[in-house]
Structure 1
Amino acid sequence: MKHSIFFKISMLFLFAMGSFFAFSFYFLKFQVERYDNTNEKEKYEKISIVFNRIISQENNLETIQNYLKEVGFIQINDNRLRQAIIQSIPIPYDTPGIFLRSVEVQDDLFILVVSDGEVYLYKDSMRGLYVNYYLILLIGSVILILLFALVIRSLLPMIYLRRQIRKFAKGDVRVDCRIPQKDEIGELASEFHKAINRINALNNSRTLFLRSIMHELKTPITKGRITAEMVENPTHKQRLISAFDRLNFLIDEFAKIEQLSSHNYNLQKSEFIVQELIAHIEKMLLIDKLESSPIANHCPNDLIKADFELFAMSVKNLIDNAIKYSTDGRVSLESDGRNLIISNYGAPLTMPFEDYCKPYFKDSTKPSSQGFGLGMYIIKNTLDAQNFNITYTHSDGVNSFTIEGCIIESSCPLPIPDITA
Structure 2
Amino acid sequence: MSNEWKSLKILIVDDDSFQRTIVTKVLNLLGVTQVASAADGHAAELRLAEGWDLLILDLNMPGMDGIEFLNVLSDHALNPALIFFSGEDLRLLEVAEDLARDLGIRVIGSISKPIDRSKIEALLDRVELKTAPQAKTFVQSELSEAEIRAGLAADAIRLVYQPKVDAVSLDMVGVEALLRWETPDGTLLGPGAVVPVAERSGLMFALTQAIFTTAMAQLSQWCQAGYRWKVSCNFSVSDLTESSIVRVLDDALAVSGAPAELVILEVTESKLPEDVSRVMSSLTRMRLKGCGISIDDFGTGFSSMEQLRRFPFTELKIDRAFVNGAHSMPSSKAIFESSVDLARRLGISSVAEGVEDEADLTLCRSLGVDLIQGFYIARPMFPEAVVEWAIKRGH
TM-score, reference length from structure 1: 0.22
Greater length-normalized contact order (CA 8 Å, ≥ 6 residues apart): 2
TM-score, reference length from structure 2: 0.23
Q: Which has the higher strand share?
A: 2
